[in-house]
Amino acid sequence: MFYTARPKSKLVRKFISSAIVAVFIAVSFIFGWSVGRKSGTPATTAMEAEGGLVQGKNSPAQYLLQDVNFDLFWEVWDMVKDRYVEQPVFDTQLFYGALTGVVGSLGDPYSVFLDPETTQKFTAELSGVFEGIGAEIGIQKEQLVIIAPLPGTPAEASAVRSGDRIIAIDGQDTRGMPLDIAVSNIRGPKGSTVELTLLREGWDEPRKFPIIRDTINIESVRFEKRKDGLAYLKIVYFNESTPGLFEQAIQQIISQNPKGIILDLRNNPGGFLEVAVSVASAWVPSGEVVVWQEFQGSRKEAFRAQGTARLGDIPTAVLINNGSASASEIVAGALRDHGKGKLIGETTFGKGSVQSFEQLRGGSALKLTIAHWLTPKGQQIEGEGIVPDIAVEMTRDNLDNGEDPQLKKAMELLK
């Protein structure tokens, strides 16, 4: 197996994709998220200035440094229960909303408390089947963006592209909208329509994209033996179906003895850490570091390759772009740092934070950022991404004309 063990009482898995969760009590989460963003981190920083230092620029609000009485929580609880105009207000509604607000106060779009209903949807998506448009979204510079439209989905068919900025969802402005609320608004039952207002680089103004939702079944691995003697291997997502499909692809590659491998990680938004390490282990020698996990206090933990590096001696070109995020950045960084693959394309998304996924009592769950990823040579992924060895841009004209200069460059490299 390629996954972490399932304890009897709870499941803990390190999940590293972009957020793909929905919210239950939106108002509570928005409140907690806003508090977190306004308050900042409880630490004082200093900035250089002529004649001295400017202290306290990022100091927390004064009220955050004061002692509090938890009776205030119950006072607000009771006031909402007694006075809110639309009754009844259920205790469970307030309870789950409060927990959502606790995690939301961190101001981290990837840390989320999930109520039981949302947890069920979340785990269904990780299995590779869910209903929606088939696009991963994330946040860059405080703006919701499309990380990657998944192949064969309504998002791809509607010409949604990696890097598109999401200005509105069904006419609702996304400024300040938490990530999980945006995902919840985009997802929905098969046959229903969601309208995304997108702004793309090079456009003068946003454009509207009505997209009909469908059942999304992610075929995470695709293999093709090319006539030129190269093996083409595309990994769409690092989910529960990936290990078995990847093993089948390895068997075909070895039996056909290709002169080179093109590993396509473009528009791959991520998935499970365990799966990423397993995939990288097909190239990286056993015992070598695939990725470092850096916790608070700069404590590090290494995740090492396991197996026999069966593809390690076959020349490999790795295709990446801005839609390559998280687990795909781990694999790309590991192959580059160990000299097992040349990276071709564009700088990756830069999603290098680590989320643990822990199932809790009552069917709820907590997805919490606990660390950051570093490549084997210590490069931070979060906010920086992986820079290709050979930069090849995919232009709008290329896409419109069905051209793939990145794939062409990989073929030239491996000839």
Let me know: does 240 contact 182? Beta carbons within 8 Å.
Answer: no
Residues comprising the chain, all counted: 415
Let me know: does 347 contact 385? Beta carbons within 8 Å.
Answer: yes
Omega before residue 405 within 30° of 0, cis: no
Residue type, 15: F
Rounded distance between C-alpha atoms, residue 376 and residue 289, angstroms:
6
Residue matched to tokens 């490549």: 375
What sign does the CA torsion over 279, 283, 288, 290 have? negative
**Pairing label, strands 143-149, 129-132:** unpaired
Q: Is 38 helix (H, G, I), strand (E, B) or coil?
A: helix
Rounded distance between C-alpha atoms, residue 243 and residue 240, angstroms:
7
135 strand-pairing partners? 149
Residues with a catalytic annotation lie at 326, 337, 351
**What φ, ψ does residue 151 adopt, rounded to 5°?**
-60, 140
CA 80 to chain centroid: 36
Residue matched to tokens 């869910």: 130
**What φ, ψ does residue 367 adopt, rounded to 5°?**
-110, 115
Rounded distance between C-alpha atoms, residue 410 and residue 415, angstroms:
9
* Element housing 54 (H / E): strand 52-55
Rounded-to-5 percentages of helix, strand, coil across the chain: 30, 30, 45
Residue type, 94: L
